Amino acid sequence: MSSLKEECGVVGVFGDPEAANLIYLSLYALQHRGQEACGIITLDEGRMFAHKAFGLVGDAFNREVLQKLVGDRGVGHNRYSTHGGRSMQNIQPFYFKTPYGHFALAHNGNLTNANDLRKKLEAEGSIFQSSSDTEIFMHLVAKSRADSILGRIKEATKQVRGAYSLVILTEDRLFALRDPFGFRPLVLGRKGGAAIVASETCALDLIDAKFEREVAPGEIIEISAEKIQSHINGQRPEQRHAFCSFEPIYFARPDSVIFSEPLYEVRKNLGRELAAESGVEADVVIAVPDSGVPMAIGYSQKSGIPHEVGLVRNHYIGRTFIEPTQSIRDFGVRLKLNPVESVLRGRRVIVVDDSLVRGTTSVKILRMIRSAGAKEIHVRIGSPPITHSCYYGVDTPSRDKLLAAQKNVKDICEFIGADSLAYLSVDGLQRALNDQAKTKYCYACFSGNYPEEICSEILPQPTDAKGPGLRAKC
Amino acid sequence: MSSLKEECGVVGVFGDPEAANLIYLSLYALQHRGQEACGIITLDEGRMFAHKAFGLVGDAFNREVLQKLVGDRGVGHNRYSTHGGRSMQNIQPFYFKTPYGHFALAHNGNLTNANDLRKKLEAEGSIFQSSSDTEIFMHLVAKSRADSILGRIKEATKQVRGAYSLVILTEDRLFALRDPFGFRPLVLGRKGGAAIVASETCALDLIDAKFEREVAPGEIIEISAEKIQSHINGQRPEQRHAFCSFEPIYFARPDSVIFSEPLYEVRKNLGRELAAESGVEADVVIAVPDSGVPMAIGYSQKSGIPHEVGLVRNHYIGRTFIEPTQSIRDFGVRLKLNPVESVLRGRRVIVVDDSLVRGTTSVKILRMIRSAGAKEIHVRIGSPPITHSCYYGVDTPSRDKLLAAQKNVKDICEFIGADSLAYLSVDGLQRALNDQAKTKYCYACFSGNYPEEICSEILPQPTDAKGPGLRAKC
Amino acid sequence: MSSLKEECGVVGVFGDPEAANLIYLSLYALQHRGQEACGIITLDEGRMFAHKAFGLVGDAFNREVLQKLVGDRGVGHNRYSTHGGRSMQNIQPFYFKTPYGHFALAHNGNLTNANDLRKKLEAEGSIFQSSSDTEIFMHLVAKSRADSILGRIKEATKQVRGAYSLVILTEDRLFALRDPFGFRPLVLGRKGGAAIVASETCALDLIDAKFEREVAPGEIIEISAEKIQSHINGQRPEQRHAFCSFEPIYFARPDSVIFSEPLYEVRKNLGRELAAESGVEADVVIAVPDSGVPMAIGYSQKSGIPHEVGLVRNHYIGRTFIEPTQSIRDFGVRLKLNPVESVLRGRRVIVVDDSLVRGTTSVKILRMIRSAGAKEIHVRIGSPPITHSCYYGVDTPSRDKLLAAQKNVKDICEFIGADSLAYLSVDGLQRALNDQAKTKYCYACFSGNYPEEICSEILPQPTDAKGPGLRAKC
Amino acid sequence: MSSLKEECGVVGVFGDPEAANLIYLSLYALQHRGQEACGIITLDEGRMFAHKAFGLVGDAFNREVLQKLVGDRGVGHNRYSTHGGRSMQNIQPFYFKTPYGHFALAHNGNLTNANDLRKKLEAEGSIFQSSSDTEIFMHLVAKSRADSILGRIKEATKQVRGAYSLVILTEDRLFALRDPFGFRPLVLGRKGGAAIVASETCALDLIDAKFEREVAPGEIIEISAEKIQSHINGQRPEQRHAFCSFEPIYFARPDSVIFSEPLYEVRKNLGRELAAESGVEADVVIAVPDSGVPMAIGYSQKSGIPHEVGLVRNHYIGRTFIEPTQSIRDFGVRLKLNPVESVLRGRRVIVVDDSLVRGTTSVKILRMIRSAGAKEIHVRIGSPPITHSCYYGVDTPSRDKLLAAQKNVKDICEFIGADSLAYLSVDGLQRALNDQAKTKYCYACFSGNYPEEICSEILPQPTDAKGPGLRAKC
């Protein structure tokens, strides 16, 4: 039950008369990647149709809205929930009308040289509508002197750094591109004659589309009515990739296959490695739902200690909850989870969770488990300690709020109230990810070794932006 | 993933200045018992305050609404979702102003002589506002000549038959009563000086209240500022009880203790009994979430076959979903569940589910599992075949739509597309429920042996009621 | 610009396949009679369809809602705006299901023996849903032992006293009835084969229906598919009628014909009488819009002093307005009216208004006129001083808030800041109403001579009713 | 009751802690200038706060929204209602963040070289968010190389042609500017220490501000905390002005003073001139409300024929109305107006209206008047025939839909069903406007003599803009 948040899910459809419906369902399948807001833009006979709204996909769209989104092509976007102010302007997909036709784009990731580019563009007279780094890409395309859209996109990619999985819709093309490191996932599928691009394969499953392949790091896929072409992104794709390791650990859905790995198996492996590295005598293994469940099953299978449901998740969590003024201890966690006393009372319990970020939720969960009668609590974390911030699209807190950047494991164990605590080692993680060569994944949040050089200077937000936002400048 | 629906969850609070907040949270914890509508009524210095709305508790209430529900006492209700029309008039709690003060009530259950009583009351000039059988109870109280509220309530209980777990709020009392058979659960808890009554213990857990005991079948608990008194219901409580066996099989939350049994353990026992009765060689045991999960774990532990997550549930299910006009095979089920191919491909799979009602959903789930590569599918159901309708508050379809009333097991196995199918025996169920003497639970839906005589004549609805509604007359 | 409020507008349609649309438009035409809430109930093949909501007709209904209100017959109601709490339960039409079929009714007026009847009914076990006196009528019908609906209605009318213009819809009948005094208007019209009943003729005009005649005081009109029959109300219609004189003075629309008089001419006559009784030298006559306009024109024509638009009314008045914390003098009135300086500066101005109730608005209007430069202000009121409360459906304030019950004309003149003030005499009013015999209209609010005996005891509200409500008991 | 529509009302406030409330009330007073949408932007300590919505001011804003619009300065805008699609992007005020601070603007008018400028800007890489010509002004400011905001604004005004009354808010300044012809009105007022800019004086009246003077044609007023400075607009103000003559005829409120004339008197003069030019024997003069009322009064005073209210306006017009499928003749007009039969029956009626555009509404009104019994109908129009389109902000239909561009007066008289018809002459109009020298007002819609050269080529909309939009290119 990580408190980490990612920035988005993206979808593109080209060549299906029900494009809006398919995008809508794909966004629904990708809802776990962003719950703040969502949007769909379609194109039909030279006209663009858009609907964007705050809230979940199932609330933001209805039949009437979808029927107005006509056309056989479109793009969609899910945005994650920030805690501060929110602006309609920041809901994607973004779009604008150019002299050479419509242009819409949806972005998952984070550009690391956004501030510099924005300042330069504003000085030249560009007007920004949002505080999103994604809009920079649009201005770079608008100002490019290349004589084709593909050329303009390539010129733009030459100037940006950082993480981007992008889908772009123009008058007669759908482009799907991924930065050379491949931080964020992006997959290509087919449904009849239509091409589908989406952040994860679970979106393809829901709409009965066939998974074809990943969009490669550093690749631009150009989809038209005639053909699908692959181009090399302006920047040379490097040998070394940097897939986000938190996608398999926590973000992606366990039924997805991303970075070519079936996630359920990766998560079970994380549990197995954990059991091998940090075994402990106990009566029962329980998971913190939901990403911890396959890890707990893996741990149980490796260790032979039975897996039980020790924490029941409430499925009807609403938007906001009104807390009584009288204190209900650990109120927020209780709304989501309730311990099963018959599983816990008098037992030595192994609690498997995917990660520890701030640790505040774990304190409450362990307190609930303890008060339900657990005799011993042994916490096992399916990932290494997070000691550094992410600049590639994961909304990590600043280092002073990262538990593992501030305390050693012993102190953390005490802080959360466990009898023992163990993290998975980076080696164990790499084994589970099948990346012993260490050239596929990004482990920067565990090590501080960023794939690109990151300046130490963290600039204030370029506008009165409402999100938390991490921006770095070199 | 039973398609059975129950009629309600009820809550009462007496003696806490934040009564509305506590009822709200309790209803939230009881949301699984009814998702169509909800309501809260509180009482303060002789004035009643009410809010009722369609939708989930988390949507229907907000801070502003709750702040208007002042008072240290109140009652609340969750109503289940019907598919047909719905009427604001049917949302509970019901209330009316009497010459002797306010009167509000919330009901879980179903009266079996509702039609007769309603006709009689209407002939005498009573005006009904709803199509609910619950309103009958109010009119019986209003027309009673007894000189106390307790006396009026007793007179009313003498006239009604069937299932009722009721909470009643008057000017200075909270009453909690349960019919002599005890069909539906009702528990009493304490939070500081306040008394709490709720359908299940999970409601007490969320608000940090202490579970005290069940309201006994045939008991009227009278709660006032001074004391809590227990009365015998007008009808003599009989030796034989008739707790609904579908509460532990499916309805109640696994972290609840009802009818004095911890449900998670009961469900695991159902799985164990199933494994003992109907073992089969296989590679993996998977559950149809969520009530099937403890059963699958029990099955796995008994059989030694590993339990895996073979079906992933989508947590963001919205109100309604727009289906593309192009057919997506098994669309409705796909929205809720997605198979995990890496678990299923090439495997012999045991699928554990809580019950089979119409079987239509199972057909789709098995098709998905099969197309994800399962080599064999062995379905194991944690309850006996349902062959008869329920008249006590469970919304069972009519017999011609009950799969097991129409087909034998072999035909059902074929119909749903399984390689083998086994139900739990009634004996196995009784062992799991610890009811070998067969005096505690109602098994009528498996056997047709109803606790009371039920007329064969099923009357049409007394009004143009919108719900499906089952009514029986003798 | 009287601050008096009336209780309602009512409509009934029988025999038009678009009944709901016609009722909706009629309510829209009768919007001036009530702006708090509105509702429509229709009947089709034994099923009732209802929609009720707070707000104006144009906001409360839309195409989708109207399409669901199927059937060729129905009743509708507009409710006036109270300032205190409001309850969904009080929105009319009311309806209930009886053993002899559906029964819906809409009421304009006020029963003067409501308290007594309610107490008696509650003691017998009747359950009330609203705090409205209208519900009493329903219970009297439900408890009647007469063997026809007409008989039941007659029995009910024998028991109630006060003002009622009622439309009642049953399975196969539409009834329209008016109390023997005829306090409130009610007219019958025809549109093709359909019968229409409405509070005022302007509703007939909008839907292109032909005005046929008034429903007579003490008459029950029974409309069925076969014929229209006239019955004498249970109480003998008396020689003396008591039409509300404030209907022509203020409530009704100037394009309506009610109590057989064209209202525009009555209002012009009021102005003429006023000029004849209380002439004064001046440069210009202006009206307080809107009911004052025909009076000002009458005054101008009689006196020869030119009529000008001295106060411009804002047509976009919304629901609520946010007042700045810094004081804007006479803010509330400025939102509605703005003086035209070029008409007023340096002039001697006659201001014609329909009535003076509390006088607080007049103070503000006169201050605006004065500050726009008027040299002299002579106020002329088109009705006599209001000195007594109304118990027949007009929401007059209590006597201590009635300006003319507390002050003499000279003091009122000073209080509102006029240079002179004159009211119309009761004789003048009777001439304008063509009621020199004084047997047609009720003048109780000007004289205290009530048509029926009214007890001095004003009882508190029978329930925690939210409206202001005037109730009298004998 | 002209069917012409204007584009907007604008407001700016500088120096009042309740800026948002004052703008809100001003927009409310200017609601007649635009009903489609409205918006307010305020500035406080370097942060901008915005709220924009479709609908009337009274619906779009509430207390909560206004409280969030903090700051002592801001701008507001009302937008007129188009019939086609509508886009959130087109709601003003527009704003953007520049490297030199915030910039917000609100515009009334229409630029005549919008297409050319837009094409040029897009070719240089500017991204447009709306289809509004107003956004062009923002891009010109953003791309200017001047070193002050004033300089940038001046550079922008040098490039645009056509009609603009603009209010611009920057970090520490409020600018108010008007094009050299002064097509649209704009006035300056004071309220305590605060400066107020608004389209009409009626906005100043409502908020108790003092009218100071008009913003002069070709003037830029720069308001800061220290002082108010007047600058000459980049273009030399010419001798000849071109105030829109439809502002006094129809658009502006009769209680406003614009172009230094009190509108009520101008309208009465129009009626007087009409009576002098085109007298006819008749019994009664009636107005088509509302702008026709002062004209009818003027006509009556000049001719001696009495003025009466012959058409009653319904004050509760909602957003949309559901028309019955059965035809109600002249349904749309009936919703707004109802004839007063007692005024019309058997009379020779003079009907005074402000203008005739398409004539379709007049046909219906005359038919209603005729069926209410009028013996003769003489239509008198308070303006000359409209024969040409407007390119300066009035939404005139194309010439083929302009009645007077297609038919002569006799044919029009027949078409609308009148017994006689007369328009005011251009000379009469100029006398009423006190513009005998013909240098103050624009009469292009009556004559085709445009103040600037207008190309005959009417280009299609530059984007898939939703509004009707007239654009001309030279």
Q: Which chain C residues contact residue D208 at CB under 8 A?
A: 328-329, 334
Compute the nearest-CA separation of B245 from chain A (Å): 20
Mutate to test the interface with D, among A43, A97, A102 (most CBs of D within 10 A): A97
B245: left (phi over 0), alpha (psi -120 to 50) or beta: alpha
Query: What local confidence, expressed as pLDDT, does residue A3 receive?
Result: 63
**Nearest-by-Cβ selection for A139 from D123, D127, D143:** D127
* Cα separation values, A62 from A24, A25, A68, B83, D214, Å: 10, 12, 10, 18, 49
Give me the total of CB pairs closer than 8 Å, taking one residue from chain C and one from chain D. Answer: 162
Residue D121's pLDDT is what? 95
* Model confidence pLDDT, tens digit, residues C113-164: 998 999 999 999 999 988 888 999 999 999 999 999 999 999 999 999 999 9
- For domain A264-313+327-466, the CATH architecture is 3-Layer(aba) Sandwich (3.40)
Q: Give the model's pLDDT for residue A456.
A: 44
Tell me the ipTM for this assembly: 0.90
Interface touch C127/B96, C-beta < 8 Å: yes
Per-residue model confidence (pLDDT) at position A383: 97
Residue in A47, A124, A463 closest to D464 by CB: A47
Predicted confidence (pLDDT) per residue in C7-42, tens digit:
699 999 999 999 999 999 999 999 999 888 999 999
Looking only at the bridges linking them, the beta strands covering B219-223 and B174-178 are antiparallel
Task: Say if residue B235's pLDDT is above 70.
Answer: no
Query: Would the pLDDT of D160 be above 80?
Result: yes
Mean pLDDT of B320-339: 80
The band of C461, judged by pLDDT with boundaries at 50, 70 and 90, is very low
Give the homologous superfamily in CATH for domain C8-239.
Answer: Aminohydrolase, N-terminal nucleophile (Ntn) domain (3.60.20.10)
Distance from C-alpha of C124 to C-alpha of C126, rounded to nearest angstrom = 6
D52-64: string of b/e by CB count within 10 Å (b at 16+)?
A: bbbebbbebbbee
Q: Return the residue in C42, C45, C68, C127 with the most chain B beta carbons within 10 A, the one to mutate for interface testing.
A: C127
Where in the sequence numbering do the catalytic residues of B fall?
Answer: 8
Q: State pLDDT tens for residues A40-82.
A: 999 999 899 999 999 889 889 998 999 999 999 999 999 885 4
Q: How far is A129 from chain D (nearest CA, A)?
A: 6
Of D258, D260, D262, whose CA–CA distance to D200 is shortest?
Answer: D258
d(CA C286, CA C296): 6
| Ranges A108-117, B228-237, B455-464, most confident | A108-117
Please judge whether B128 and C99 are an interchain contact, meaning their C-beta atoms are less than 8 angstroms apart. no
Mean pLDDT of the B53-79 span: 93
**DSSP reduced 3-state for A303:** helix
For an interface test with C, the pick among B97, B103, B138, B159 (most C C-beta atoms closer than 10 Å) comes out as B97
How far D167 CA sits from the closest chain A CA (Å)? 19
Closest Cα in chain B to C48:
B464
Residue A266: its chain B contacts at CB < 8 A? Answer: none
Residue indicated by tokens 């007073």: D29
At CB < 8 Å, which residues of chain D contact A?
A: 46-48, 88, 96-99, 119, 122-129, 138-139, 142-144, 463-464
Measured in angstroms, the CA of C381 and the nearest CA of chain D are apart by 20
B413 phi, psi to nearest 5 deg: -55, -45
- Residues of B within an 8 Å Cβ radius of C: 46-48, 88, 96-99, 119, 122-129, 138-139, 142-144, 463-464
Residue D234's pLDDT is: 58
Contacts of C47 in chain B (CB under 8 A): 464
The side-by-side arrangement of strands in the sheet containing B47-54 is: B47-54, B37-44, B73-79, B8-14, B194-198, B187-191, B210-214
Residue D463: predicted pLDDT: 32
Interchain pair A96, D128: CB under 8 A? yes
pLDDT confidence of residue C289: 92
Q: What is the three-class DSSP state of A179? A: coil
Residue of higher predicted confidence among D260 and A272: A272
The answer, yes or no, to whether the previous bond of B290 is cis (omega within 30 of 0) is yes
Interface touch A58/B319, C-beta < 8 Å = yes
| Least CB–CB distance from B343: residue in A25, A264, A314 | A264
- Chain D residue with minimum CA distance to A48: D464
Q: Which residues, given as ranges, of chain A have pLDDT below 70? A: 1-7, 81-86, 234-238, 317-321, 454-474
Does B96 contact C143 at a Cβ distance shorter than 8 Å?
no
Q: Pick C99's closest partner by Cβ from B46, B122, B144.
A: B122
User: Predicted confidence band at C76 (pLDDT cuts at 50, 70, 90)?
Assistant: very high
Residue B459: pLDDT band (50, 70, 90) is: very low
CB contact under 8 A, B127 and C122: no
| A–C contact: 3+ Cβ pairs < 8 A | no
Mean model confidence pLDDT for chain C: 89
Q: Where in chain A is the domain with CATH 3.40.50.2020?
A: 264-313+327-466
What number is the average pLDDT over the span D102-130? 92
For range D8-20, the mean pLDDT:
96
Residue C55: the pLDDT is: 87
User: Which pLDDT does position B393 carry in this prediction?
Assistant: 85
The secondary structure element, H or E, covering residue D302 is helix D292-303
Question: Please, which pLDDT band fits residue D456 given cuts at 50, 70 and 90?
Answer: very low
For residue range D189-240, what is the model confidence (pLDDT) as tens digits?
999 999 999 999 999 999 999 999 999 999 999 999 999 999 987 555 567 8
pLDDT value at D461 more than 80: no
Stretch B186-212: mean pLDDT? 96
Is it the case that residue C84 has pLDDT exceeding 50? no
Q: Does residue B473 have a pLDDT over 70?
A: no
Q: List chains adjacent to chain A, taking adjacency as at least 3 C-beta pairs closer than 8 Å.
A: B, D
CB contact under 8 A, C127 and B88: no
Residue in C closest to D307 by C-alpha:
C297
| pLDDT at D393 (0 to 100) | 85
Do C339 and D255 count as a contact with CB atoms less than 8 A apart?
yes
So what's the pLDDT on residue C322?
Answer: 73
Q: Is the peptide bond before D290 cis (omega within 30 degrees of 0)?
A: yes
Q: Which partners does chain B have (≥3 C-beta pairs < 8 Å)? A: A, C
**Closest chain A residue to the Cα of D87, Cα to Cα:** A50
Could C47 and B464 be called an inter-chain contact, meaning their C-beta atoms sit closer than 8 Å? yes
Minimum mean pLDDT range among A321-325, A380-384, B68-72, D258-262: A321-325
Assess whether pLDDT exceeds 80 at residue B474.
Answer: no
Closest alpha carbon within chain B to A333: B206
Judge: A290–B317 Cβ closer than 8 Å, yes or no: no
- Per residue in A79-123, pLDDT (tens digit) is 885 443 467 788 999 998 888 889 999 999 999 999 899 999 999
Tell me the pTM: 0.82
**Using omega within 30 degrees of 0 as the cis cutoff, is the peptide bond preceding A290 cis?**
yes
